[in-house]
Structure 1
């Protein structure tokens, strides 16, 4: 007589099927989302803003559902990886959030395999475990799952952010921006050069020794040269440092990279070379003339 199949064995099979189904649904929704975004860009280009604002809510809801499926897929993988802990009569604390989140979300999704997982978890741990998960009496269900399953309409900022990102991705000028006319043409005074050539002392000024400049004029020229110094244009392309922006989500459609304020201190080599001031007088401040003099010394 063959051995009977245990609940844990059935649960492992259904978890694998659920993971495969969740991935297929995510790929399907991703392809449908691309088509919907392209149609939304055409509406923005045609100036049908009111229609676009209403229809973009379907895209937002689809993205929220995709994010929910990603969370449930991770919970299924967690239960499958810790299948040895499912042998006990009570749910292990490390699996309680995953199990109760799946029980809470399974009836509200289209994934039939998840509903089978829910039924097997109910058979394993009893009805009271399922009721506590459905009512979330012990606050073990993930807050992200509860938020993704809420039916509240999207915020106005989220709708605006989605429309702007779709317009930017498909090259649509929305909202309308003023056209860039470029930099104004430079004005060149030709009379200045002619006057210099006509002057009797013009050749002598070019050929003769350069007259020493006053100290104030020299400092002004060095400050002007310092202000004109810019980093090379190829720094952004060939730099070995690259920052990957986080992927946009419904909670943050336009992610940005922020740096926490960090106090930077000069190294001992910089102090010895005279580039940075010592710690004794770091609060005294540095004049513009001293910075210009140091920059000129470095250029030599």
Structure 2
């Protein structure tokens, strides 16, 4: 019953987000006393509405892939993570044409250095995992990468460097870092589930931040239609915006529930395997001891 409930959430939530395409995303305050057109705007009439639809579509497809039983296999799970990075980048490339500008201060530089350093360290550890002869190389490479990242970040902060990049490139960089962090965690079979949680949370945030843009869009359409527009305070977000936001919340709850359930199952399987291996090792040691004892008695 619980499994069916969580499955329904990870698909029903994004479905509600996509359905908001036909709902009002912004409308006039009902108390507004002047006749003006358009009074409201539905999702399919705005770029923002289609962007929200795309977010819901990505979440829906990702949720369906995570529900696939083979998504727990390490290679398939990592492939889903890569596909999510590509999908998020594509959405940003299609719907956002404004570049992102950031003046690097001390706090952003420190945060960037910590995140990039941690990501680089995890990549190096995964790439050389199990190769004991390269343990020293791993440590040296990790320290050199950390020093280089901190130097570049603090230098950019000291110079007050302003970084301007296309939004899709910023999204690609951000989701790549998230993909590395979720993909290198243990157990690896849960990489796709972890990425689903992150994607749903960021999708909800993206919808939340579009409230102001939706209201401004309605004012722009009024100005284009009638040559005059209402004031910003007389415009409010419509029911579709709330439906989309609530849909992403449902998807997030379902994603967390699926991740927790699968994590418990995987950890139980890992513990059982280790116990079997320990029992097998004990059996071999006992048999070896008995053989030695018999050999000693024979002599």
TM-score (norm 2): 0.24
TM-score (norm 1): 0.24
From the two aligned structures, give the one with the greater helix fraction. Answer: 2
Decide which structure has the larger Cα Rg and report it. Answer: 1
Q: Which has the higher contact order (CA 8 A, sep 6+)?
A: 2
